[in-house]
Amino acid sequence: MMTTPESAQAVQAVLALPFLLMGISHIVQPKMWTDFFTYLHGLGTTGVVFRTFALELIPAAVIVAFHSVWSGPETVISVYGVLLGLKIAISLLAPSVGLRSLALAQRNHNVSFIGAGVFLIALSAICFWSMFNQESLPG
């Protein structure tokens, strides 16, 4: 499937606000996220499946299917989608690796979640910038 500049822009429009809200939440509520991921870790492989389907699968699928932009700042979004898709595949095919990922939340939770929050806000900023900068998309 070929993606178009319009489909990439639609992906950015759909994900800009969720990336922003999740990013701010990670920064201002790292303890909440630590508790949530600790809870999921306690569920074992069920927690891995829940995290994958509740938080990761839809953004990864949408980005991989409709955001094939490989030039400019938007490349970061495409790379994020591919890497998230790889993380999903590894977590579902080797749940012990997914459990180790969940366990990381218990160590240095402020640094981990604040860093993730900054990254999500950066993704949001790229989405918003691109939506208002039409020349940035190939086509």
Residue 1 has what pLDDT?
53
In a domain, 77, yes or no: yes
pLDDT digits (tens, 9 = 90+) for 83-93: 999 999 999 99
Residue 139 has what pLDDT?
47
Residue 116 has what pLDDT?
94
In a domain, 33, yes or no: yes
In a domain, 1, yes or no: no
Contacts of 89 (CB under 8 A, 6+ apart): none
In a domain, 101, yes or no: yes
In a domain, 106, yes or no: yes
In a domain, 139, yes or no: no
C-alpha span between 82 and 90 (Å, rounded) = 12
Q: Which residues of the chain have pLDDT under 70?
A: 1-3, 134-139
In a domain, 3, yes or no: no
In a domain, 93, yes or no: yes
Overall number of domains in the chain: 1
Domain that holds residue 127: 9-132
Residue 127 has what pLDDT?
96
